[in-house]
């Protein structure tokens, strides 16, 4: 594991938590969707950068 993959996974989890929080607060669906997409992309990028795949 390198620092970039850990950072991407951390950011993805942070954004996912924000999306869940905003969903519970009944914020606009566009904001929740944008946070959800950003979280998914960050998590996928962080997981794919892990060195266990190579």
Q: What pLDDT digit, counting tens, does each position of 18-52 carry? A: 999 999 999 999 999 999 999 999 999 999 998 87
pTM: 0.87
DSSP assignments along 17-48, one per residue = HHHHHHHHTT--HHHHHHHHHHHHHHHHHHHH
Task: Round to whole Å and give the CA distance between 2 and 36.
Answer: 24
CA distances from 11 to 19, 26, 29, 35, 52 (A): 12, 22, 21, 11, 20
What is the pLDDT at residue 2? 85
């Amino acid at each position: 594991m390198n620092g970039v993959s850990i950072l991407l996974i951390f950011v993805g989890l942070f954004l996912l938590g924000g999306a869940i929080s905003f969903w519970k607060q009944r914020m606009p669906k566009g904001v929740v969707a944008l946070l959800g997409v950003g979280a998914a992309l960050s998590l996928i990028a962080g997981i794919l950068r892990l060195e266990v795949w190579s």
